[in-house]
Structure 1
Amino acid sequence: MTQTSTSGTPAGTVVGAPIEVTSLTKHFGGVHAVQDLSFTVTPGRVTGFLGPNGAGKTTTLRCLLGLVEPTSGSATIGGKRYHDLHAPMRVVGSALEATGFHPGRTATNHLRVLARSGGLDEARVPVVLESVGLADAAGRAVGGFSLGMRQRLQLAAALLGDPGVLVLDEPANGLDPEGIAWLRSFLRYLAGQGRTVIVSSHVLSEVEQTVDDVVIIANGRLVRACPLTELTTGRAHVVVRTPSTDQLVAALASAAPASTVHRTDEEVLVDGLESADVGRIAFGAGIELHELRPGVDDLEQVFLALTSAPTDGATS
């Protein structure tokens, strides 16, 4: 895809607006989906919105877009609630799920209907279809589209009003590897124009290659909000696989209390010790090891360590 500005203007000229979530709380009966959540998303950067299934990500985005009324707190775009925005499709574009398409309607006609309902120029339709790589499929019925093509069409719809803010929920779902690589490049291009881009995703390897900042939540609460580089510093650690995880953790705590231990489903990650130190402690405690090697922190390991607590019934 040739990366031309969807507005016909040079990159860097689109004015984004900050997203501000302040003490946001949403209860569905006895389920606390979001609890006292606060963070800011900055224009000109791609922000990854991360959390386990049921963490409250989709509920938060729906509150931001006025689809769900918060129990308390606020979620604003440029200091305004979505319902208070003048011509909201020109301010914020969203893609929450690749559904809601009439199967017999062509991609072009689908976008024309959206443009008319939002008071937008229909001349934007071929422009945004070209920008997401669907120009050749413009006259095809959406019912014959793959999930990946529907994701691209949803993104085209989000861009119809040439908004300065983009809110995307799992936009990589259904994309093949080539499509994921395209999306990564396209999101960075859009942020480079000055837009505010927030994207939720479970594909952590792609998030790590795409985003500038991360907001991580679990149990509906904020776990961490910071630039990606603060989490993935390449810090060295020791990776251990053993059938005696509990015994190893106890032995490390006794012999090297200053070390830090994180668990994943299959591994123990140890900070503050060399591989030889961990091996010696395990040998002294009679613990069988299946693997012992040096490693380097990546986003997936940090994410698992930060979100290892149960979700306590929170919903996404």
Structure 2
Amino acid sequence: MATRSDSGVLGSRVDVAGLSKHFGSVVAVDDLTFTVDPGRVTGFLGPNGSGKTTTLRCLLGLVEPTTGTATIGAQRYHDIAHPARVVGAALEATGFHPGRTARNHLRVLALAGGIEESRADATLDLVGLADSARRSVGGFSLGMRQRLQLAAALLGDPGVLLLDEPANGLDPEGIAWLRGFLRYLASQGRTILISSHVLSEVEQTVDDVVIIARGRLVRACPLSDITDHGQRLVVRTPQTEELIAALAQQVPQARVSRQDDGSLLIEDVDSPSVGRAALDAHIELHELRPATSDLEQVFLSLTGGAQ
């Protein structure tokens, strides 16, 4: 399935269905199923060695699945007529000839992919490397190599991008740029799948998350399903027992749980109700704020704490 945005970019759905990959006795991916939709940035998350890169390599036809399928627009990569114009990928910032300039590196790739050479300068400009077009890649920092890899992925103006740890090596300014750039590309209708272990950065970038551990899917959902929790409050008070008793009497629907840091997590009640209960019982509150369960907390709980 492909979706054309108002900007004319054709994004295709990515489908992974019952995908397994064994390397001898090692099960790298185990019956994995998920989808990635056009017009959205999807974070592909999991501890090191969980099968993320193997899954991306299956999508790109670099690894043959043991069972199951990995398709882009309902086609296997090898069956796509002009793959460079459909899907772009950045798996690792290596494989550059150190003596080639950034522009020449992209021109070689464009020639091999049947893409007009003018795209080399266009993509260098897109990723902020226009001023370094004539520099040899051997002198590039890791962050610059990451940008060059992204430029290579964009050469064919594809509707699908598969990016493995794209923020690796970028400084804070570069990470902020990448965040906005990926959002811009998704707004054009592109399908974007990024793997990452930098969870705080992913949380500010993605629309959806796919979390895997030991090669198996543990969660696939919109990010908002994880980060939006309605009425959940964190409360700190030196009179914990008194507040629990007051809430039980005045707002019996409230669910209260003690946290390891000494605070209380109060659910299913709004902050004015908690404040009134504390005031009526002459209880001093040191903190009363909305609680958020961020992506990292959920990730650690689902994957057993490994990263």
TM-score (norm 1): 0.78
**2:102 touches 2:132 (CA, 8 Å); kept in 1?**
yes
Percent pairwise identity: 69
Relative distance call for 1:268 and 1:57 in structure 2 (3 A) is: farther
Question: Paired residue for 1:122?
Answer: 117
* Larger relative contact order, structure 1 or 2 (CA cutoff 8 Å, min sep 6): 1
Determine if the alignment matches structure 1 residue 303 to structure 2 residue 277: no
* Secondary structure of 1:210 counterpart: coil
The C-alpha deviation readout for 1:37-75, integer Å capped at 9, x for no partner, is 000000010000011111110010000001111100000
* Secondary structure of 2:209 counterpart: strand
Separation in 1 of the partners of 2:225 and 2:258?
Answer: 19
Relative distance call for 1:261 and 1:45 in structure 2 (3 A) is: farther
**1:48 counterpart letter in structure 2:** G
Determine if the alignment matches structure 1 residue 167 to structure 2 residue 194: no
1:175 is displaced (CA, Å) by: 0.2
Q: Trace 1:7-156 onto structure 2 (pairs within 5 A).
A: 12-156=7-151
1:262 is displaced (CA, Å) by: 9.5
1:268 is displaced (CA, Å) by: 9.7
Question: Paired residue for 2:213?
Answer: 218
**1:20 touches 1:79 (CA, 8 Å); kept in 2?**
yes
1:203 is displaced (CA, Å) by: 1.3
1:200 is displaced (CA, Å) by: 0.7
1:310 is displaced (CA, Å) by: 6.6
**2:235 touches 2:265 (CA, 8 Å); kept in 1?**
no
In the alignment, structure 1 segments of 5+ residues that lack a partner are: 1-9, 241-257, 275-291, 312-316
* Secondary structure of 1:110 counterpart: helix
**If you compute each CA radius of gyration, which structure gives the higher value, 1 or 2?**
2
- Corresponding pairs, count: 265
Separation in 2 of the partners of 1:117 and 1:207?
Answer: 33
* Secondary structure of 2:15 counterpart: strand
1:27 is displaced (CA, Å) by: 0.8
TM-score (norm 2): 0.80
> Mean alpha-carbon deviation: is it higher for 139-148 or for 10-19?
10-19
**2:235 touches 2:266 (CA, 8 Å); kept in 1?**
no
Question: Paired residue for 1:181?
Answer: 176
**2:34 counterpart letter in structure 1:** F
**1:90 touches 1:161 (CA, 8 Å); kept in 2?**
yes
Where has structure 1 moved over 2 Å in runs of 4 or more? 234-240, 258-263, 267-274, 292-296
Question: Paired residue for 2:277?
Answer: none
* Secondary structure of 1:20 counterpart: strand
In the alignment, structure 2 segments of 5+ residues that lack a partner are: 237-254, 270-286
